Amino acid sequence: KAVLEDSSETDILWVHDYQLARVPHLIRQQRPSAKLLFFWHIPFPPVDLFRTLPWRRPLLESLLACDLIGFHVPDYARNFAETAVEILGARYEDETIHYAGRATRVLARPIGIDFAAIDREARSLRIEKRVQNLRQALGSGTLIVGVERMDYTKGIVERLRAVEYLLEHQPIWRGKFSLIQIVTPSRLDVEAYRQNKREIDETVGRVNGRFSDSTWIPIRYLHRSFSPSELIAYYRTADIALVTPLRDGLNLVAKEYAASRIHDDGVIILSEFAGAAHQLPEALITNPYGQEEMAATLELALKMPIAEQHWRMEAMRNRIKSQDIKWWANEFLGRINP
């Protein structure tokens, strides 16, 4: 109702994310000639999983009321197309799904960030001063940063256990690095999220209790909100970014870290189950479900020569710069006839 009241017949209407999956159907009912786009921000599951939903047909039919549907990576787009074919009997060819007299284009483009703004802020004098202060406060060892909101899909407990595994099995690294784990509070009125926080708190306490000494703490746990500028300072300061969600539609932390690395150095450890892994193959890709594998990947990052850091980070920064938020928006809006 709000969309229809605030738009005209000639406007392009772009609906975002799965919570609003039925909105295109409702708009199309009231405005048959509407120019409709949809972007699905989370992973789209394989057909065998999606078919378990009691509302599978109305959800799919609503999405196919759009002229164009976007996903982050080709895997999600392929899953959607296969689901439409198997459940609805739709026809799919040339990136287009044909169903009930409509043709819906399906496009995979990973959402970008405002690279120029982050790069500019990362070069500012206030960030430079903040980086110097952080370095002085946090010590001279290798600094690793993790930035997540409180969510059990982000794999925070799993990465903490990987750090514990590395310190236990490779004691040479004790005192050599610190993980700064930033966790933004989220949905703490939901029991699953409160339980996730308790598990994180307990794991941090156990790891620090086992391995800390009089001058070194392996994990610095910061549970509060940070401004974008504050995060950029941490991205600039940290030598390694640990981005290991159990499942993520894309993950912008990896991109923001790369955009902040104005000297083309640093290492990104990235979960293979984050959509960003398709776009950032130069990152060290790891399986967050395996402590041993993650610990081994962390050791590779700690040992990576600066020359290798440079070519990997330069490639990622160039790609993120060219495929920024403006590129992403134009990829969709530019395909809708005025």
Catalytic residue positions, numbered: 41, 248
Tokens of 270: 């990235």
Cβ-count burial 279-302 (b if 16+ within 10 Å, e if not): bbebbbbbbbeebeebbbbbeebb
CB 304 within 8 A of CB 267: yes
CB 14 within 8 A of CB 39: yes
Which residues in the chain belong to E strands, given as ranges?
A: 12-16, 35-39, 68-71, 91-93, 96-99, 102-108, 142-149, 177-184, 219-223, 240-243, 267-271, 284-286
The Cα 335–Cα 333 span in angstroms is 5
Tokens of 276: 């960003």
The Cα 245–Cα 159 span in angstroms is 9
Tell me whether strands 284-286 and 267-271 are parallel, antiparallel or unpaired: parallel
Tell me whether strands 284-286 and 96-99 are parallel, antiparallel or unpaired: unpaired
Angle, vertex CA 315, rays to CA 183 and CA 124, nearest 5: 55
